[in-house]
Amino acid sequence: MGVAFREYDPLVPELSWIRRRALPVLTVVALLLLPWTVWLTATLPAKHTSDHWDAAWVGFDVAEILSLGATVVAIYRRAVWVEVTASIAGTLLLADAWFDVLLSTGDKKLWVAIVEAAVAELPLAALCFLIAFNLSRFLRRWADVLRMAPPPVRDRLLHLTAPGEGPAEGDLVGVLEIPADGEPAGETGDAHTAP
């Protein structure tokens, strides 16, 4: 079970602005979107012609390609930001399935859109959300471990130094080392020492 974010949390003091400033803004926007959506439902025409239909879809598909590509890169690099890119990709895939089905004209195009959504877009979106959820759960558990750890252990796990001290030169060498033979890197060492 994850520990809820606390404003006084010593591990994330830089993030306290999220609860103080971003939370009220997002709450107001979400609440204002409710009447806006009702108004749009009542006033928008059922049919609309667009001069830039092709550009809208190409732009949307490019956004999907970029978000999926960024997710692939983030997974390959084991980057923490994979949670963000996977969430973006999943959201775009859901929107793509929604608009493909709703904007299809004719029986044949509608069935193609439904099959596309069921076979490709929705399963890929689910995969992206699963990636984001699992990483979020892992990071939440890791934060719990760090909160419970005594400060010297926490500092060592985070490779932090005491205030006023510079980082040891070789601190990250072992962590970042990738040996050519595929064997574990071994002990951390000085960056200027030859093997």
Q: What is the pLDDT of residues 3-41, one digit of tens each?
A: 454 445 555 566 677 778 888 898 999 999 999 999 988
Mark whether 40 and 83 lie in a shared domain: no
Query: Does 61 map to a domain?
Result: yes
Asked if the model's pLDDT at residue 176 lies above 50, the reply is: no
| Distance from C-alpha of 130 to C-alpha of 146, rounded to nearest angstrom | 24
If asked whether residues 24 and 71 sit together in one domain, one would say no
188 in a domain, yes or no? no
* Separation between Cα atoms, residue 39 and residue 35, nearest integer Å: 6
- The predicted pLDDT at position 46 comes to 83
Q: Could you tell me the residue range of the domain that residue 58 belongs to?
A: 53-91+122-154
Domain membership flag for residue 33: yes
> Does pTM top 0.75 for this prediction?
no
As a whole number of angstroms, the distance between CA 177 and CA 150 comes to 28
Q: Which residues of 85-98 are buried (b: 16+ CB within 10 A; e: fewer)?
A: bbbbbbebbbebbe
| Number of domain units in the chain | 2
Same-domain status, 83 and 128: yes
Task: Determine the longest span between alpha carbons in the chain, in angstroms.
Answer: 73
Q: In the predicted model, is pLDDT for residue 194 greater than 80?
A: no
Residue 178 falls within a domain, yes or no? no
Give the range with max mean pLDDT: 23-27, 52-56, 66-70, 166-170: 66-70
CB-count burial class (<10 Å; 0-12, 13-18, 19+) for 22:
exposed
**139 occurs within a structural domain:** yes
